[in-house]
Structure 1
């Protein structure tokens, strides 16, 4: 311990410890509880290499979404802090999204001072009475892996180390730490830990006996099928999966992709349509897919063996998930697939109809191309927008999509170049996540393709302000059909012969007066255009890329699209 004459506040120790434990940025939506944090930045200097770079985000949901996107691009969690219970409430939806896709976020919030006098951090305003709760953590308890409250400033390094170790242990996920103002203002002689106290737990491959069983089933299968949904930020799962599929003639269907893992131009890619292949499959290998199929529409045949692979093959955080699991291979996904690949090399495999796989692959690519052509004149289709966006991405560009055309419509993109909204479906995720991806690499082309309804949920003025203030040149493509297609399509699925199917206007789905998204963006300092004709889109996209490259400005295109 140091002499308290040379000590620091708990708030400064927090910032120094975040930086020491790998946090490059401190995403903040500040309030009265941040006073010790503000003082620490002022004392040390916000540009100090000893503190994380502060990034002001004027809405809490956007703040957590940015941390989400940063992890998708880098595999490194970031620190996010909001204002007491009211800020935590706004952040809760974005935390639901992070938990649904096992994304580690370190969320902190202040907690209204516990004391009313005699301490530097004591209450000083009326809201510090109204904001006090009996159980503040209850706002996010159901969607975090771990939560705790800071009591003493000297415990900051140990608490942060534990929080990050839990967040990064498989299956990964968000954690929450509440920070009363008193311990943040209190002085401490504690040192910043040179090394983290705790390291994340790392899983290896699944049990050797189970690997051998799975390999035997796959080798003997007449109609095997791999279903995948998401990969890892390092691309390990994608690399192993591509080799496994090609080496052993295993067709792959990527469904409901949240983190694209399988390249659609790979010869084993058969597209997301499970209507024929799933009922015909005798062995199904499900690779870390929380939502592998929709039971109402498709399910494996009764005799099929279904193998689930991943850190938690049963996805225990989901209360209801009744997919058949003949065998669960629990372990690191990439390591388990690599072990399965090696085991298959030693087992004689049954001859399969490679021509049928090739035909399904070609048919999938033809459907994608046909859908794009069909929407290439007049009012554009989402499929055509996807084709046009693909044309500007180059070798490294990234798509963040929320209610745009899904991953199968970007067949040429490999691992971690397409990120889709999570199974939780908390709207407003796309814009902030794209900002997080861009924050991780300002020179990379990041395209956010988002429905107009989702764009409104994202607090677009906030996203534009963050993009402009932090020089984040995201290209946002708003798909404008003046309504919620997802709600309309859901009603039609439930009531295909109902009155809704013939209604001129579907209730609760059409906005009526829609904002001029391009003008809103221009008012925030972005370069923006409205595109009403599909024929004009390729040229406008090229112009947008030029603006990003030459002027480093964020861009928004308000593109009219037809209903799905």
Structure 2
């Protein structure tokens, strides 16, 4: 499958230039590691500095000159991983993040779990104090050395290793890259002994053709599965496609449209993952899937055949439409490789779905293979008109109103919605390109949004596409110092904060519990609100060198402020707009949110 060919270094990026010294013939273990990272065509290493990988840090700067890859300094290890995660969501390719010893890995663990649940590749480079106890400095090296450091995150990694020599480290990095980028993609971890990094090489290593060893495995569908599915599509009257995780390739995007039009399939997409199909196409459901709605439920009940393409939670979706434990009357086909990385620790694999045919393949390859079979010839279908919109009735700006006002301010520009809040109204913005929307963080926690926004902006720099992240205030407050990295490296980025001044999703949890127990629901706000004193998010952004706007509370001023922020981004800056919004969820989500999103906060 082709990936979108984007590179953060297509356009100039601020480079921290090292002082160059005359070259010598001495080489160290970390020089080999740095050269291997370059050979893997990894452009960037995001890091929060640490002494455990000081040898590698030196090699990347003084041996390679801080180019190919370039270091990106971050203020927290979660940001380093989240930046690599956001970069992968745009490009489909690997970026590296370095974390210090066991303590840095502990900080990074939530972000690694996000990448795991989101099935995105990240090369996490770790390090430990000297494995040889005789080499450890008193106290500090002992508390930063672990017997099995990878065990901290192994349940949500595709693979990890702790190589004991420079040659083994070279092989481990190449193996890790191939595993990370093979579907289903995911994070990998290579832990480097600090002593091995800093030791000089006894002799030159043998030549190593890196690219011959790192090729990811491509998974195509079986011929029989393609024949059987195509035959059923030819005879079906009501076809439903559930389109989940797909590539960002424009060619693959066009194939999905062609297949849906050829067979007249109704199409559902999922806001948990990136754009997979044009949401204003007349075959698409009225809105992308966030919670079960009557239209999708009826489509599931009436379908002759349902094909799920890497749908994140097939069992849960079917149960929500049909009732728990009830199987669909349709013939259900599931094109997915996700089962290959399910384990006994993480339950992100969701419930077991009733499926008639499981096709173990990359979903885009299944679409391509079906298009090569004899299928009905269908005429192209017209685009659907955008739904009408009514202003919020109350005095506060609604999230739906924010979305539509931002869409108007963006105008005809190509934009990429890197992240959206749980309260987002799916009808506010149509997705017409695979880079129009990148999906959620995967793990449903907090603090990832700002870092992923920076990673997306890094990958999009020079493409002409406006990077936009719309974040909740809780997410921004926990991860907002990631903004400094975007400012420091001159990565244009627009962050809009849908600020309801509360951990609002948990207010609904508390209300549900109170009502169940016949206790006062009016107390739901206690221990949740973030308004006394109010937090000046604009000043927080300005303190890091970004352009800060707001708080915006007047809907009549909103579009003008957003246009000013967009102008600041187009001038090369980072803009953060704090918009005070009415608490609530669009499209009836409030009734379902405490069932469907127990950990998310907005």
Q: TM-score, normalised by structure 2?
A: 0.83
Post-superposition Cα deviations, 1:277-318, rounded to whole Å, max 9, x if no partner, equal 222323211111122454553237542221111333687454
Post-superposition Cα deviations, 1:507-552, rounded to whole Å, max 9, x if no partner, equal 44323434110111112221111111222221111111111223x2
Post-superposition Cα deviations, 1:207-248, rounded to whole Å, max 9, x if no partner, equal 121112222323333322111223213244422111111122
Post-superposition Cα deviations, 1:255-277, rounded to whole Å, max 9, x if no partner, equal 23321111111121113332322
Whole-Å Cα distance in 1 between the matches of residues 318 and 520 of structure 2?
A: 24
Structure 1 residue 418 displacement after superposition: 0.7
Structure 1 residue 103 displacement after superposition: 0.4
In the TM superposition, 1:170-181 aligns within 5 A as 170-181=183-194
Whole-Å Cα distance in 2 between the matches of residues 88 and 511 of structure 1?
A: 29
Matched, 1:524 2:544: yes
Unaligned runs of 5+ in 1: none
Q: TM-score, normalised by structure 1?
A: 0.88
For 2:282, the equivalent position in structure 1 comes to 267
Whole-Å Cα distance in 1 between the matches of residues 46 and 337 of structure 2?
A: 29
| Pair 1:423–1:523, CA change in 2 (3 A) | closer
Whole-Å Cα distance in 2 between the matches of residues 275 and 30 of structure 1?
A: 50
| Pair 1:379–1:153, CA change in 2 (3 A) | same
SS at match of 2:338: coil
Whole-Å Cα distance in 2 between the matches of residues 113 and 324 of structure 1?
A: 50
User: Does the 8 Å CA contact 1:33/1:112 hold for their aligned counterparts?
Assistant: yes
| Pair 1:27–1:216, CA change in 2 (3 A) | same
Structure 1 residue 34 displacement after superposition: 2.3
User: Does the 8 Å CA contact 1:314/1:328 hold for their aligned counterparts?
Assistant: no
User: Does the 8 Å CA contact 1:421/1:429 hold for their aligned counterparts?
Assistant: no
User: Does the 8 Å CA contact 2:333/2:356 hold for their aligned counterparts?
Assistant: yes
| Pair 1:220–1:358, CA change in 2 (3 A) | farther
Whole-Å Cα distance in 1 between the matches of residues 392 and 187 of structure 2?
A: 40
Whole-Å Cα distance in 1 between the matches of residues 521 and 515 of structure 2?
A: 10
SS at match of 2:496: strand
For 1:297, the equivalent position in structure 2 comes to 320
For 1:97, the equivalent position in structure 2 comes to 114
SS at match of 1:8: coil
SS at match of 2:321: coil
For 1:558, the equivalent position in structure 2 comes to 578
Post-superposition Cα deviations, 1:75-127, rounded to whole Å, max 9, x if no partner, equal 2211111100000011111111111111010001111212344xxxx322522
Over aligned residues, Cα RMSD in angstroms? Answer: 2.8
Matched, 1:399 2:412: no
Whole-Å Cα distance in 2 between the matches of residues 522 and 175 of structure 1?
A: 35
Whole-Å Cα distance in 2 between the matches of residues 323 and 303 of structure 1?
A: 14
SS at match of 1:261: coil
Aligned length: 538
Post-superposition Cα deviations, 1:344-402, rounded to whole Å, max 9, x if no partner, equal 51x699x9xx9xx999x66xx42xx43xx333874222222222232316443111224
User: Does the 8 Å CA contact 1:281/1:301 hold for their aligned counterparts?
Assistant: no
For 2:302, the equivalent position in structure 1 comes to 280
In the TM superposition, 1:47-58 aligns within 5 A as 47=66, 49=67, 51-58=68-75
Whole-Å Cα distance in 2 between the matches of residues 420 and 496 of structure 1?
A: 33
For 2:595, the equivalent position in structure 1 comes to none
For 1:77, the equivalent position in structure 2 comes to 94
Matched, 1:312 2:338: yes
Whole-Å Cα distance in 1 between the matches of residues 186 and 42 of structure 2?
A: 16
